[in-house]
Amino acid sequence: MAKTDEQTGQAGQSRQTDGQAGQSARAETTLGYEQARDELVEVVRRLEAGGTSLEESLALWERGEELAKVCRHWLEGARARLDAALAEDEDAEGAEEAESAGEG
């Protein structure tokens, strides 16, 4: 009978994980970088302070992973925009140099 209870508990946990995955996807689209970073700092602070149960620590760790993913997403987007802007500047400088060389 205990095995059946364990199986039931595991099934309940997998349903929670599916729900958490949905929450993670929503969090990624709604959290700004600064908000995610600040929450991540708080999660790390709580983990480092200790005094939490194993279950709570695992939940904090998972939340931290989600928040780190959100931050990484924002930073990658910022890097792509910066690279695109730098590429545009290089293209414009190259065009100017080509024009100058043609005039001289």
pLDDT tens by residue, 16-63 = 444 555 555 555 568 999 999 999 999 999 999 999 999 999 999 999
Contact 95, 61 (CB under 8 A): no
- pLDDT tier at 97, thresholds 50, 70, 90: confident
SS (H, E, C) 61-98: HHHHHHHHHHHHHHHHHHHHHHHHHHHHHHHHHHHHHH
Q: What percent of the chain clears pLDDT 90, i.e. is strictly above it?
A: 55
What is the dihedral angle through the alpha carbons of 50, 56, 60, 62, rounded to the nearest 10 degrees? 130
